[in-house]
Amino acid sequence: MNHTAVAQGPNQHHTSTGLPMFKLGFWVFIGSETLLFGTLISTYMIYRGESVTGPFPKDIFSIPLTTFSAFVLLMSSLTMVLALAAVKRGDRKLGMRWLLTTAALGSVFLGFQAYEFTHFAAEGLTMGSNLFGSTFYLMTGFHGAHVSIGVFWLLALWLEGLRGGLGQDSAVRVEVCGLYWHFVDIVWIAIFTFVYLFEV
């Protein structure tokens, strides 16, 4: 058996696999999160077409708008990759810049979500209106909450950089933030496909 002592920086455990503890644990957590979003999306799919009263998806979805916000989120995953690459290279300033950009793009996405929610509400779709409203708002609401937490995390890392941190030994923590961010992005790809595009 390979007993690997990994140079992960001071005060880190030896590990049986060579994988950093935080990264491994976080992958496990992401595994459980897939069940969380899976339940929400499945319930949406089960109740699709079952609403007794409107508004219905076709009435109020704006595919062009949502396509653009999905693109924004996708691009934020790119900037996240660039942030991690910079931190790994030891380029603190560039890492900070890309982290801030990622947070900004994520916030733009959230802005679009906020606009969409208020617009839908004005059109008569609240979470209590019908099954579509209930399942839609809970599913995208949970997703939005996850994006928000991600934005906070990114800003915390950026602040760390501001205080002189964010050196190469913080690469694992930035990578884990990236894992979370990419996961949240992939969930949106799933939602965008099964919820929005399926109505086209």
Partner 1 sequence: MATAEATIQTPALAAPKTGIWSWITTVDHKRIGIMYGVTALFFFFVGGLEALLIRIQLAKPENAFVSADVFNQLFTMHGTTMIFLVGMPIAVAFFNYLVPLQIGARDVAFPRLNALSYWIYLFGALFLNASFLLGAAPNVGWFGYAPLTMNEFSPGLNVDFWSIGIQILGVASIMGGVNFITTIINLRAPGMTFMRMPLFTWTTFVTSFLIITALPVLGISLFFITFDRFYGTQFFNPAAGGQSVLWQHLFWIFGHPEVYILILPAFGIVSDVIPAHTRKPLFGYAMMVYSSVLIGFIGWGVWAHHMFGTGMGPIADAFFSISTLIIAIPTGVKVFNWLATMWGGAIRFTTPMLFCIGMVAFFTFGGISGVHHGVPPASLQQTDTYYVVAHFHYVLFGGLIMGIFAGLYHWWPKLTGRFLSERLGKLNFWLFVIGMNMTFFPMHVVGLLGMPRRVFTYPAELNLGHINMIITIGGFLTALGALVFAINVIRTFRKGERTTDPNPWGAHTLEWATTTPPQVYNFANLPVVRSREPMWDHPEEMLAQTTGEPKAPIHLPPPSYWPIFTAVGVILAMALMMTGKWWPPLIGAAWVGIGIINWAYEPID
For the chain, how big is the Rg over CA atoms in Å?
20
Q: Among 57, 95, 133, 178, which residue sits at the site for partner 1 (rule: CB under 8 A)?
A: 133
Whether the Cβ atoms of residue 95 and residue 154 lie closer than 8 Å to each other: no
Nearer to partner 1, 36 or 189 (CB): 36
Q: Among 66, 122, 134, 190, which residue sits at the site for partner 1 (rule: CB under 8 A)?
A: 134
Residue 48 has a CB neighbour count (10 Å cut-off) of 16
3 binds partner 1 (CB under 8 A): yes
- Return the amino acid letter for 126: T
126 phi and psi angles, rounded to 5 deg:
-115, 175
| Stretch of 34-42, 80-88, 92-100, 190-198 contacting partner 1, by CB under 8 A | 34-42
Interatomic CA distance for residues 194 and 46, integer angstroms:
12
Please report how close the Cβ of residue 129 comes to partner 1 at its closest, in angstroms.
8
Interatomic CA distance for residues 197 and 195, integer angstroms:
6
Q: Where are the beta strands (DSSP E) in 31-170?
A: none
Please report how close the Cβ of residue 97 comes to partner 1 at its closest, in angstroms.
22
| Stretch of 13-21, 68-76, 181-189, 192-200 contacting partner 1, by CB under 8 A | 13-21
Residue 190 has a CB neighbour count (10 Å cut-off) of 14
Contact residues for partner 1, defined by CB under 8 A: 1, 3, 10-13, 15-17, 19, 21-22, 24-25, 28-29, 31-33, 35-36, 39-40, 43, 46-47, 50-53, 126-131, 133-135, 137-138, 152, 156, 173
